[in-house]
Amino acid sequence: YVGGNWFQEVGSTFTDNTRAVFLNGMGDQNISYGGSGSIDFSYLHIDKPSGNVNLGDDLKISQRLTFETSNTANIDASLTDVSVIISNDATNAIIRSSSTNSYVIGRLCRAIASDDNTYAYPVGTVLGYTPASIDFTGVIAFLDPDVCVRSYDGIDPDYITFSGLSTTKYIDRFWEVIP
């Protein structure tokens, strides 16, 4: 259980032996690496009564990300334009409670399995939760399996320019999907 910030020195490694790390501190908690790199966990549980988890570097989770039932925090990857990367291609590699404050602000990347699957992307912005769900059909194993999603507030800058759709009737939100 970690109640404070997580800082990993340059050149150091953290070995969790496939055990879970729980972030449960009051207020904001920061996760960062001393150089250019990523913080790697097998299992990460977010169970914070207040504040967010702010990322300074990419956060890689090899097995499962869990937002616990009592959680009121988001993972904020937008501050430094980093990613939350889930390398487990299981559709249930992200467990989310019913709380509306359990999502990633910024870019969420997921490994995608072969064949047909539906993946939830619990993403949003500081203004709110705006999830995406993507159905994949006929995925071939040897292709790059990561697909990233990010939600944005406002109208897509290309909406009016390229869509030919109404300039007055639109959703004030858009998503970026990066294969």
pLDDT tens, residue by residue, 60-108: 999 999 998 777 788 999 877 899 999 999 999 999 876 667 899 999 9
Q: Which long-range contacts (CB under 8 A, 24 or more apart) does 34-41 make?
A: 34/7, 34/8, 34/9, 34/10, 35/10, 35/11, 37/10, 38/85, 39/6, 39/8, 39/14, 40/14, 41/14, 41/16
The percent of residues above 90 in pLDDT, for the chain, comes to 55
Angle 148-149-152 from CA coordinates, rounded to 5°: 145
Give me the mean pLDDT over the 122-139 stretch: 92
Residue 158 has pLDDT above 80, yes or no: no
Prediction pTM value: 0.90
- pLDDT value, residue 144: 64
Tokens of 88: 């487990």
- pLDDT value, residue 117: 94
Give me the mean pLDDT over the 29-37 stretch: 84
- pLDDT value, residue 100: 67
Residue 151 has pLDDT above 80, yes or no: yes
